[in-house]
Structure 1
Amino acid sequence: MPRHYTAETLSLEGPDAIAFAQAQFSSQVTALSDGQWQFSAWLDAQGRVRALFHLARLAEDRLLLLLRGGDAASMADALRRFVFRSKVIVQALPSRTLGTGDAMTTHTVNETPVLMFGCDTHSLVIGAHEDDAWRLSHIRAGWPWLPDSALNALLPPALSLERLQGVAFDKGCYPGQEIVARLHYRGGHKRHMHCVVLSQPVSAGSVLRDGAQEIAHVLDAIAVDAHSEALAIISDAIEEQANRDVLRIANDNIEVRLQQRWPA
């Protein structure tokens, strides 16, 4: 089944919006200038990724989150439990279309005439036309979009969030910070994200198994000619079983060709 993408967004507004986001999210929010975005995540106490998103600073006291998976209403409801006395309004915005626009410098944001997130060779356009031409370049760049099966299930190293500058290790406490720091300084995480080519179409969120053994957890996949290109989480032990960078799943007669592996 083709995967349908919409722009799920939520806003943080008020004098304490930046401080609130800095205390809740994994990235260095205070480093954002107006008109810029960064990758960021909201983690649970065990360090698992509850939400992954583009975090944009639209004004001095206004942030916008473009979620890469999940829904804005649920996240907004969960975030409000941590507002307490902070002067910040957390609001889920209506779902809008998500499409591809002209080339625009990565990490820049433009609100005129519509909201656009710069991604180098293209931009993500919110609220205008709808298409998924952006997806293949994001898969090849290792920019994951999380299916429901991956929410609250993966640690930041599995999604290569350090490479994406989506986690900070020197900014003080935020949910999951101790786990993130331990994994960074001591290592030991044994699951990593790969760009793979699949010999047949597979739906995002699928867990590919050979018997009882999990081979790959597919985050996103798109058909290209007679095969699919995908981002998948694969354990280091399974990667070692590859023969010339190919894993074969006899159950479903699927070949998984490992194209690229990203570090934490």
Structure 2
Amino acid sequence: MSTWSDALHFAPLSLTSSDSLPTLALVDLADWALVTLVGDDKKSYLQGQVTCDVVSLSPEQSTLGAHCDAKGKMRTIFRLFHHQQGYGLFQRQSVMATQLPELKKYAVFSKVDIEPSEDVLLGLCGEQAQARIDSLFTGDSDVRQQDNATAVKIDDQRWLIAVAPQQAEALAQTLAADAQLSTSALWDLYDIRAALPRIDASTELEHVPQALNLQAVDGISFKKGCYVGQETVARAKYRGTNKRAMFIMQGDAAQCPQAGDAIERSVGENWRKGGTVIAGYQFADQQAIALVVLPNDLDDDTQFRLADAPESRWTVQALPYSLDDE
């Protein structure tokens, strides 16, 4: 087992809902995993499996995408980028045991090797993250590769780093010299505020891509050829069959909302299940924030609460992007 982090102490940060985020934080992404694809047929094979356009992805870019079943329900949402001699898929660790065998199912007929990576996954967050990456990785693109490491820009304040285990300790020590150390809970907070979707084991095969706003974050190509689940995804767009969307919600919580938890909505004087938590973050002041899938036609005055906390009240927050079709 890798001991790269033995000398470092990654702990949850104590942040209230009104606190500013650290100017630089190094995050141990232990709840995440990386899948690699290498081989002559890696591009064509993956193109026929996922929602994003693999063929048009340049080495300087990354993209979100989803891997669905034949009914269009998502097994995972991932970030795809060129990594070493192939592709890397950055996704939740909790889906690996079920999703990876499905991705590999037909690989025996193609020249492609699909395996879980041993790379250490680190996140660099904060307003100083860009400058820190610039000092360590050459180039000016959103994906930067050097020997045994790839850095991927997530947004203006976040970078993902996938580094080989033998180089991980030295790199982590260098980054930790002027950064706060955090567990992946901080990464969750960034994802929630950016409304970036994910799939965990508890939400696997529950939703079509549009229910988690994947079309709004450029994770679906409607111009590429066929892929697994494509008919359902296209029907959701062109026939309007999808009736759900993902929203940012905030409210009272004594503990962190977990993926799969239920949100209830008011219906007259009664309460009924209204939505499902996708990801949550607990602040230090008994407030929490979460990504929640809800019906996309709810009245503005609908009240919400956590199903496990009837006294709580939750409100929908503004999304950082539009859900309107172009």
Q: TM-score, normalised by structure 2?
A: 0.70
d(CA) in 2 for partners of 1:36 and 1:236?
Answer: 31
Secondary structure of 1:158's aligned partner: helix
Report deviation, 1:108. 2.1
How far apart are 1:97 and its partner, in Å?
4.4
Give the letter for the 1:20 counterpart: Y
The yes-or-no answer on 1:114 pairing with 2:158 is no
Instruction: Specify the code of the residue in structure 2 equivalent to 1:92.
Output: P
Measured in 1, the distance between the counterparts of 2:195 and 2:87 equals 24
From 197, 200, 221, the counterpart of 2:250: 197
Aligned residue number for residue 218 of structure 1:
277
Q: Does 1:25 align with 2:36?
A: no
Q: CA deviation at 1:37?
A: 1.2
Shift, 1:85, TM fit: 2.4
Following TM superposition, by how much is the alpha carbon of 1:248 offset from its aligned partner in structure 2, in angstroms?
4.4
Query: For the structure 1 residues 69 and 197, does the alpha-carbon distance in structure 2 shift closer, same or farther, using more than 3 Å as the test?
Result: farther
Q: % of aligned pairs identical?
A: 26
Which of 313, 317, 326 is the equivalent residue of 1:255? 313
| Larger Rg computed on CA atoms | 2
The secondary structure found in structure 1 opposite 2:210 is helix
1:76 has 2:100 as partner: yes
2:83 pairs, out of 58, 66, 90, with 58
Measured after TM superposition, the shift of residue 154 of structure 1 is 0.6
SS of structure 2 residue aligned to 1:221: strand
Count of matched residue pairs: 258
What is the correspondence of 1:72-221 to structure 2 with a 5 Å cutoff? 72-94=96-118, 96-101=120-125, 102-103=129-130, 108-112=142-146, 114-119=149-154, 120-126=156-162, 128=168, 129=172, 131-132=183-184, 133-200=186-253, 201-205=255-259, 206-209=261-264, 213-221=272-280
Structure 2 distance, partners of 1:122, 1:170, is 29
What is the Cα deviation at residue 7 of structure 1?
A: 2.9
Cα RMSD (Å): 2.8
1:174 alignment partner, SS class: coil
Structure 1 alignment gaps of length 5 or more: none
* Aligned twin of 2:65: 40
Q: How far is 1:107 from its partner? A: 8.2
Q: Is the 8 A contact 2:31 2:92 kept in 1?
A: no
Alignment partners' CA distance in 2, 1:70 and 1:37: 22
* 3-state SS in 2 of match to 1:111: strand
User: 1:139-195 deviations in whole A, cap 9, x for unaligned?
Assistant: 111102323221111111111111111111121110111111111111131111000
1:148 and 1:36 map into 2 onto residues whose CA distance is 28
- 8 A contact 1:73–1:92 mirrored in 2: no
Q: For 1:100-154, what per-residue CA distance to the aligned partner results, in whole angstroms no more than 9, with x for missing partners?
A: 2522699822334733220221212345556333332221111023232211111
Structure of greater relative contact order (alpha carbons < 8 Å, 6+ residues apart): 2
| 2-structure distance, mates of 1:90, 1:114 | 19
Match of 2:179 in 1: none
Structure 2: gaps (5+ residues): 1-11, 13-28, 135-139, 173-181
